[in-house]
Chains A and B, each alone.
Chain A
């Protein structure tokens, strides 16, 4: 029987990188990429930043031209949705009615924005941000006279949006249930420092506050955000950025193991050996943390895509990439390498007042994560050190004048020096 090939569900970064890597590695069977959105794969990071200000044009978001898919014999199915996986027969049924047989199936279904269980979320003027269509709606809403904007959630999307809206001249308030911004992603020091930058820029931060309801006008447009303490914030636009939920329904219905993500092993295989899951939707064992985690980042989607493509081509290796993230807020470059969870000690190097510094996180004396602002060299070096499981001790990092660039480029260093 002829090979049925590889079907990838989800045409985001992870899905696209999987099919591209399969062809780059010489995979010769049929390859199909199925995406729900009516457009070819595009970049998401600029959607909360440059795309809203106009600095990044629509055309720059496109990850590959249409001719790419034809040239590499990749069937791109846009605007169709995988509706059901018949795992035993190894085929997928699409909403349009067609079915696709597979030898290997890759789930790259991503995540969707969480909603808040409060009244008024369906009012007009309550937006969220995940897709290009969301971003286009938001750009239209932000393109005009100054408005009163309330952002719900001080995560990456919420803060990037708040900063962008402020740059565009709007009045911006951020409401966050946690007592600090980016509480899950950043150290308390970096949270505090970043919150001050937002305040300096004129973003109002209301931390440790919960929203209890949104109230609208008679015409059904959002007008007021009510908080638990009784405060009423006037708002003519509300943006909800309170995290994301993995898209696991398809996997669960197919009988695959699911629990805050599609559960996979170190090789990113689900409990069905012909099905893999990658990116935002996958819950994988982290060798660094010793437990299963889910990561929502371009790096994770992209590296997992390449790992799975390699496995399908017979070069199986477990997934061990060092996680990294970046964000742009308040005209700053914030970069994170490794994971800060579980750190028991931090050392700050550089100049926080000059917005050029790094926070080094240690656990039991070992470097586990580095947050950098305005220090791209520190970030890159941190990624190298973390991937080889080396790095300075806390005592070394505390030496006056210490910096990662000199540490990594000294002759005895484990990281190769510039030639």
Chain B
């Protein structure tokens, strides 16, 4: 289980506990966090689960593969160095404390 913080564009935060095996995307869906759409259900097709990993985060995340890298070119809000697809971030105990920022729009 990991504690994950989702920071909304209006500055508020939602902090939830997410069980493994899940992804950071599914954690948002399970808790009905507005701002994660994930229209393709988590198969790295749509780019609507885009998040920005908080700059101060030191939580270890898996490297992105070429598909995730490509999909991030089509996100609704600008891609930054901190951009990830939350469907490609598995929940493990190691990511406990992860903080992600939600973009203004997903589609």
Contact = CB atoms under 8 A, between A and B. Distances in A.
A25 B34 contact: yes
B76 A384 contact: yes
Contacts of B71: 376-377, 380
Contacts of A377: 70-71, 73-74
B40 A45 contact: yes
The 3 lowest CB-CB distance pairs between A and B, nearest first, are A380-B74, A24-B34, A377-B70
Interface in A326-362: 326, 333, 335
A418 B79 contact: yes
A294 to B, nearest CB: 18
A382 B47 CA distance: 13
A419 interface: yes
A416 B72 CA distance: 12
Interface string B70-84: 111111101111000
Contacts of A68: 30-32
Contacts of A71: 32
Nearest to A19: B32
29 contacts: A20-B32, A24-B32, A45-B43, A46-B41, A63-B41, A64-B29, A64-B30, A68-B30, A68-B32, A298-B41, A299-B46, A302-B39, A326-B40, A326-B43, A326-B46, A335-B45, A375-B70, A376-B44, A376-B70, A376-B71, A377-B70, A380-B70, A380-B73, A384-B74, A416-B78, A417-B78, A419-B79, A419-B80, A419-B81
A408 B34 contact: no
A382 B74 CA distance: 8
Nearest to A337: B74
Given A63-B41, A302-B37, 7 more contacts: A321-B107, A324-B46, A377-B70, A380-B70, A405-B73, A409-B73, A418-B78
Nearest to B78: A416
A392 to B, nearest CB: 15
A63 B72 CA distance: 23
Interface in B28-74: 29-34, 37, 39-41, 43-47, 67, 70-74
A72 B32 contact: yes
A23 B31 CA distance: 11
Contacts of A72: 32
A222 interface: no
Nearest to B76: A384
A68 B16 CA distance: 13
Contacts, number: 82
A247 to B, nearest CB: 22
A381 interface: yes
Interface in B68-107: 70-76, 78-81, 107
A46 B39 CA distance: 13
A45 B33 CA distance: 23
A409 B107 CA distance: 19
Interface of A: 20-21, 23-25, 43, 45-46, 63-65, 68, 71-72, 298-299, 302-303, 306, 321, 324, 326, 333, 335, 375-377, 379-384, 405, 408-409, 416-419
A64 B29 CA distance: 7
Nearest to B40: A326
Interface residues of B, number: 28
B41 A45 contact: yes
Contacts of B31: 68
Contact of B45 (A24, A333, A384): A333
B32 A23 contact: yes
B72 to A, nearest CB: 8
Contacts of A23: 32
Nearest to B81: A419
A23 B45 CA distance: 26
Nearest to A324: B46
Contact of A298 (B40, B44, B76): B40
A261 to B, nearest CB: 21
Contacts of A25: 34
Contacts of B39: 298-299, 302-303
A37 B80 CA distance: 42
Nearest to B66: A376
A63 B42 CA distance: 11
B30 A65 contact: yes
A376 B78 contact: no
B40 A381 contact: no
A324 B40 CA distance: 10
Contacts of B75: 380
Nearest to B45: A326
A63 B26 CA distance: 9
B73 A418 contact: yes
Contacts of B40: 45, 298, 326
B15 to A, nearest CB: 15
